[in-house]
Structure 1
């Protein structure tokens, strides 16, 4: 009688996704470019890395251990990254080619660009200044405002229930699978096809935003930085624009049951 061979269990290393950005003056772009090319290639990372004279914007996927090594290398590389919010989560999507393609993880793209995120399909007379971006709200603060719909955020008094607007800074492909929802607060979904369309949408809906307390959110935070600065640049009536620090990902880490977010967080939840 032939002996039964015991099956050997093989454990594949868990995959993950990493998002982070940093607005800061980059003293040597070529040096930073060489670092990312060498580091990402050696660790087998795939995704998008955008470098500019004013900072970095990174979305990469790979083995969790490789992503952790990348974070450590980045921290050691330059004091430029001090205080950077690295958003890392497990995300086992490697077996699904469609998801890999949608998330941009089929190859590695590292480029030097003029803008970390392209805000506006046409040149702006006055580009928004990042230092004028909306005040960051922690996940807990953001949730508290939605829960009470009357918390005091503005300098000139309390926010009334009907004076809060939730504004999603993501594209329609992301908002259709998940977004914040609450009957207490008006939610605006621009339904844009790409981020560069948001500038025009804001211009067309500026009167709707005027005088309101605008709570913005996106996946990881970077799109809200530029968009909130643009809204605030419109002057009086637009001062009370806020953004969710760390984006949806940090919110879901704080509220694992989803809180006011319903559905999936694109990229992380695949």
Structure 2
């Protein structure tokens, strides 16, 4: 019987990846379309992708598929054939290739069936996610930037925006996409006559956001085709000025792709210019934050002095702290010193 999920420890999987010598390609893709039997769709793809040594994170729902993956470059064409044949809607789907790829993005294949491929909090049967805004290509993006009648809206989380964004883009200050959608509508309610350009990392969030804005009565709605990743790639290919500044945060082990040399954020522990994200080494915290190399050494990779002290507690006490904090939904929003 074929095992349709991983049973090997992360430690061993990382060691296997480190021992690989063949080049890998990191890419992402998504598509909103109806999948009537998502579990069967998932299982069929899992077996085929596993044979091709595909690693990464893939979410499948009745509304479509969302994937960030890595695979041996030699298997890329075989992968495309399998993907394009999986459903008519996936034939020729755009693949967003990583801008900076060090092979270390993923080390295991995780495919999950979810209620939605992007958690949006929308509970309105009249909402049509396929009624999206106008796509913008790289050259068109640059043409619209800086126009008085145009507002660029960043539909990513705060920790993504703080290390990189389009110049003068509006930040929607929220930790989740589901909170951002109604917030964006409220923030832009006096600007319905303007061009609203929405963007995100690879296109999946801003595409749904553009549909939501249209649903709420906005008419001149646009979104960047393929998000920041595709914009940057096309701008480089066409020798266009790159108007995105800083680093593009990505949801894998790299935690970011350098777009320009601009450093937009600072280390919260010392104030030094820094845009290096890391997770707190304290297992009872694991908070995502920015930290420079000096503070990483000073605080042992922790986000605060208290976490550095907890780092050396016995495992039993750490487990107790994890349970206590899991029951407190406000813990990770509190400022700790």
Task: Give the TM-score, by structure 2 length.
Answer: 0.62
Q: Which residue does the alignment assign to 1:38?
A: 47
Q: Which residue does the alignment assign to 2:109?
A: 108
Displacement of 1:11 = 9.2
Q: Which residue does the alignment assign to 2:160?
A: 174
Match of 1:264 among 247, 263, 278: 247
Q: Using the alignment, how far apart are the partners of 2:223 and 2:73 within structure 1? A: 28
1:247 aligned onto 2:227: yes
Q: Which residue does the alignment assign to 1:130?
A: 129
| CA-to-aligned-CA distance 1:98-143 (integer Å, 9 cap, x gap) | xx5xxxx3543212222110113xx534563123211111122112
In structure 2, runs of 5+ residues without a counterpart are 1-18, 251-255, 259-337
Aligned pairs for 1:73-222 (under 5 A) are 73-89=82-98, 91-92=101-102, 94=104, 105-120=106-121, 123-126=122-125, 128-146=127-145, 149=146, 161-181=147-167, 186-222=168-204
Q: Using the alignment, how far apart are the partners of 1:37 and 1:131 within structure 2? A: 26
CA RMSD of aligned residues (A): 2.5
| CA-to-aligned-CA distance 1:144-174 (integer Å, 9 cap, x gap) | 222xx4xxxxxxxxxxx32210001111222
In structure 1, runs of 5+ residues without a counterpart are 1-9, 95-99, 150-160
Distance 1:88 1:35, change over 3 A: farther
Count of residue pairs brought into register by the alignment:
231
Residue aligned with 1:114, SS: coil
Distance 1:37 1:226, change over 3 A: same
Distance 1:68 1:196, change over 3 A: farther
Task: Give the TM-score, by structure 1 length.
Answer: 0.76
Aligned pairs for 1:39-78 (under 5 A) are 39-78=48-87
Residue aligned with 2:26, SS: strand
